[in-house]
Structure 1
Amino acid sequence: MGPITSDQNAYAYSIYHLILYQKMLNNQFDTLGKLLTVTEKQVTGPIYHGLFSTAILTAHNFLTEFDKYFKADSGAAKEKIVLVKQALKPVIKEIKKWKDLENFRDHVLAHNFRNKHTGYTSVFSDSTFLRYDIPQTVSDLAILIQCIDFIGRAIQRYFQAEYDSVHTLIVQQRSGQSKKSMTVEELEQYLNQLNQEVRPAIQELDNKYGIEVKGGAGETLDHDRR
């Protein structure tokens, strides 16, 4: 497939978006696999809630893209998209069994885990998040992520050329950017400088509150407590 034409523009970029969302979630599936080896009562920390938030947001974005923008006005592309959507209906239906994906995204995740309908109190203060019809367990998240992965892989199978065209264009755009990434040495030096700037104030707080860390008071914040 050659350069993207104006007629191809809308659905080609939609294909790229859908596969991008699929890959974003798929990269986190290894973490989810590790969570499946522990009991549900243990899965309450930052890793779970981080993965949980990403999955809900991405699933909502994915469904919006799939329903509203993954389409073509005419020609062979229109027919192919219609047929692919029909084939994927059972998987889409599985995702949409959770009725509150959009509500949870709008009410909670868009407000830093604070419910805008309760004066922005934390959703953890009264278990608000448990009242939403959304994935609640590790196995729920596994189903959600795998459904999106299945759809993304199917779309890439039938629209690989469109995906490649957009990807090539994006690579070309990024290759022309003027800002370059730091080297490893430059990055370490930059972060060390930030650490040195904050260290005196952290040392005072460590002494004030009796915090002991490896390396002594004021040591970098990424060190474990004793």
Structure 2
Amino acid sequence: MNVKTLMATTAAILTLSISAANAASFSFTGTNQTQVIAKNDLGLGLNGQTIDFISGDKKSTSNGLSITGGPAKVTFTYLGFEAGNTNFSANVGGTLFTNKGTGASTVNATATVNQLIDGLVAFSFGTTIPTASAGEIFNNAGANPASANYAIGYKAISATSYYVLFDDIASGDRDFDDMAMRIDIAPVPLPAAGFMLLAGIGGLAAMKRRKKSS
């Protein structure tokens, strides 16, 4: 393979990588559960709107919020809570946000991870205190315990942004403000090594041309 062909091949691969990353979007598979929001106190403008939700007794690996056309950079933004329980959100990397106690998260705090494959977004909501209400519901799995009182609410903002809203096991009041996050996805930044490789190949081509002219 000559230098010109190698450059063209590398550029094509980089272009395909960028196109694939730019194509990432959300898709949602529900369980035909909806709720008209009436008493959400987080100032998200959701009162009076209908959202989708999945309760703990129906949550599984076949439903929830997914990424298609990945990889994608996933940004979680903490939007606050209105709950008596001590609640948290987490992903595969560990706890994202917690609403009370030492190290409680501040509103608009963010955490970013890369999801390299298509599929359900890895996050959960849960409760630690009181122990009678302790448990966790996973977007990318089921719930423990598999209680109908637990639920995650989902509201699309755009093709690449979603509100996800926790209704904890305490009362099942379906106001979906026991903890809330916004999730945004964006293209995964192309590794600098790819551009460095292209620049290096370009340098080799320039050297070859100079050699011929001399």
With structure 2 as the length reference, what TM-score do the two structures score?
0.25
Report which of the two has the higher share of helix: 1
With structure 1 as the length reference, what TM-score do the two structures score?
0.24
